[in-house]
Amino acid sequence: MVLRRKLSSRERKALYQEYLKTPHWKERRSRALNLAGNRCQKCGKGGRLEVHHLTYAHLFAELDEDLLVLCRGCHGRQHEHYGEDDMLDLNTRNSGGRVAHLIDTAMLADAAKKDAERLATRSPRIGASRLGETCLRKLQYEYFKTPKDKGFSGKTLRIFRRGHEGEEWMAQWLRLAGFQLFTADAEGNQKCFRALQGRVLGYADGVVIAGPDECGPYPRLWENKVLGAKGWNKLDKEGVRRAYPVYYGQVQLYMAYFDLTDAPALFTALNGDTMEIFAEDVRFDAQAAQELSDKAVNLVSACEAGELLPRCTDREDWFECKFCDWHNRCWA
C-alpha cells in the first residue's frame, strides 16, 4: 500500500492560490457569476463579487452546487463562521478532482503547442464542414483562425477525442457487418478535396465501395458523428437536415466535390452515452450544394478583400450569439 504524505496547512493554501490563477478556475468562476445573475446570493448586492467554496470535496472539478456567489462582506462573515482551515481540506481520499485538473493542464498545454505549430505554417482557410453555419461573421473568424474569447477546456478536448475514437469504432463495426469501407488512400491519407487555391477544403470520413445489397447502391459517401444523448435523440427524432443543418450541408458539399451524387450518402451517428447507432440515407440536394459552394466563394472573396461580413442577427442576446466563441470580440 502506498501512503500519500499529508499536506501541511501552508502547502494546502499555496496549492489553492495557484489553482485560483488557472484558466479553468476563471472559467468556473465566470459560470458561477452568470448563474447567480451577478448578484450576491446572500444579500442580493451587485458590484464586486467573490465566489466561495461551500465544499472542497470536488476541488479542481467543482459542481454548480459547490459554489456560492457572495459580496465581500457576506464572504468574510461566511469564513468567520466556519473557519478557513476547517473548510480547505485537500487531504481528501477522493483525489479525482486533483487528477482531472492535472490531466486538463497537460492536455491544454499540449493542444496549445500543436495549435501554435499549425498556425505558424497554415494560411487562412475554412473547412467545408463549417459552411452550413448561419453566421457569416463567425465563419470569417474561423477562416482567419481568430483567437476565441476563451479556449477549450480539458473536458471539451476529451469530448473531441471521443468523437475521433467513435469514428474509428463505427468504421470497424461497418466492416464487420460486411461493408467495404475506405477511410484512407493507398498512402494512408484521409480523402480530401481542395477548392479556391486551398482556401476551402474538406476531409471525408470515408467511402463505402460495396456492402449488403439492401443497403446499396454503391459507392456512397460515409459521414459519422458522435453525439451526447440529447443531441442524438434530437437527430433520431428530426433527421439530420432539421436537427443539424451544418452536418447536412457538409454531406451535400462532400457528395458534390467527391462526385458521389448518384447514391445517397450514409450518415451515421453514435450515441456516446448509450452507444445506440443512428443511420440515415441522405440524398443529394443539388440546390443546397450549389448555395453552399457560392457561399464559400463569397466568404473567401470578402475575407481576401478585408470586408467585414454581417452577423446572423442584430441582437446581442440572440441564443446563437450568446454561445458563440467570439461573442465578446464581435460585440465589443
In a domain, 260, yes or no: yes
User: What pLDDT is stored for residue 80 in this prediction?
Assistant: 61
Question: For residues 331 and 285, what is the distance between their CA atoms, to the nearest angstrom?
Answer: 35
In a domain, 117, yes or no: no
Question: For residues 146 and 138, what is the distance between their CA atoms, to the nearest angstrom?
Answer: 10
In a domain, 86, yes or no: yes
Looking at the fold, whether 140 and 218 belong to one and the same domain comes out as yes
In a domain, 41, yes or no: yes
In a domain, 264, yes or no: yes
Which residues share a beta bridge with 51? 69
Question: For residues 269 and 330, what is the distance between their CA atoms, to the nearest angstrom?
Answer: 33
In a domain, 87, yes or no: yes
* CATH label of the domain that carries residue 131: 3.90.320.10
Which residue has 480530401 as its cell numbers?
A: 192
Looking at the fold, whether 194 and 83 belong to one and the same domain comes out as no
Looking at the fold, whether 49 and 132 belong to one and the same domain comes out as no
Looking at the fold, whether 211 and 70 belong to one and the same domain comes out as no
User: What pLDDT is stored for residue 92 in this prediction?
Assistant: 43
Give the total number of structural domains in the chain.
2
Looking at the fold, whether 91 and 156 belong to one and the same domain comes out as no
Reported as a single tens digit per residue, the pLDDT across 231-248 is 999 999 999 999 999 999
Looking at the fold, whether 200 and 78 belong to one and the same domain comes out as no
Domain around 284: 123-322
User: What pLDDT is stored for residue 7 in this prediction?
Assistant: 64
Looking at the fold, whether 71 and 180 belong to one and the same domain comes out as no
Which residues, including other chains, have CB under 8 Å from residue 6's CB and lie 6 or more apart?
A: 91
Looking at the fold, whether 178 and 57 belong to one and the same domain comes out as no
Question: For residues 283 and 289, what is the distance between their CA atoms, to the nearest angstrom?
Answer: 11
Which residues, including other chains, have CB under 8 Å from residue 278's CB and lie 6 or more apart?
A: 232, 235, 236, 268, 269, 270, 271
* Secondary structure (DSSP) of 276-300: -EEEEEE---HHHHHHHHHHHHHHH
Looking at the fold, whether 80 and 175 belong to one and the same domain comes out as no
Looking at the fold, whether 171 and 304 belong to one and the same domain comes out as yes
In a domain, 328, yes or no: no
Looking at the fold, whether 168 and 306 belong to one and the same domain comes out as yes
For residue 191, the 8-state DSSP code is P
User: What pLDDT is stored for residue 311 in this prediction?
Assistant: 95
In a domain, 75, yes or no: yes
Question: For residues 99 and 39, what is the distance between their CA atoms, to the nearest angstrom?
Answer: 32
Question: For residues 44 and 192, what is the distance between their CA atoms, to the nearest angstrom?
Answer: 56
pLDDT beneath 70: ranges in the chain: 1-7, 9, 79-98
Looking at the fold, whether 161 and 81 belong to one and the same domain comes out as no
User: What pLDDT is stored for residue 43 in this prediction?
Assistant: 86
User: What pLDDT is stored for residue 86 in this prediction?
Assistant: 43
Pairing of strands 206-210, 180-182: antiparallel
Question: For residues 32 and 79, what is the distance between their CA atoms, to the nearest angstrom?
Answer: 19
